[in-house]
Structure 1
Amino acid sequence: MTNKLDKEALMALKIAFSYMPKAIEVTKYEYGDRYQAVLKHIEAVRETLLINDVDPDEVSGEIDPDNTPNSNY
């Protein structure tokens, strides 16, 4: 069983995630041979957010609402 993060650690993870590239932006052209490692890192953070009941796709809006486009759904 995975332990949930405390409030401060979860906020720090949200902030860090908001600065990470989106998986669709990670290409071999941009990241070279590291691109697969970068994708794994992004997925690991997304999974940790989900375990902590946080929707990764909503994090940017929570952290920086003034610079996040409104959703269309």
Structure 2
Amino acid sequence: MGLLEAKETAAREVIERLRGEADRILAELVEGEGSLERLVIARETVAEVLNGPAVPAQEPAVNAPMGSALPAPGVP
């Protein structure tokens, strides 16, 4: 039985080592995916800025004192 127990112990040690490596690799994967996601967002933002607004510009906002009535859009 001593030989089987030694092999079992060795197998358990290998499994523990592999679990540790898997945890480390998973952490690196999560970090890499986060970096990739940020780069994609940055690229999309740069493309939007360079290409201009995707929708027509709205009429500029009129600054009026608080509580004052503003005319309806298109009314002089």
Q: What is the TM-score with the length of structure 2 in the denominator?
A: 0.29
RCO higher in structure (CA 8 A, sep ≥6): 1
- Decide which structure has the larger Cα Rg and report it: 2
Give the structure with the higher percent helix.
Answer: 1
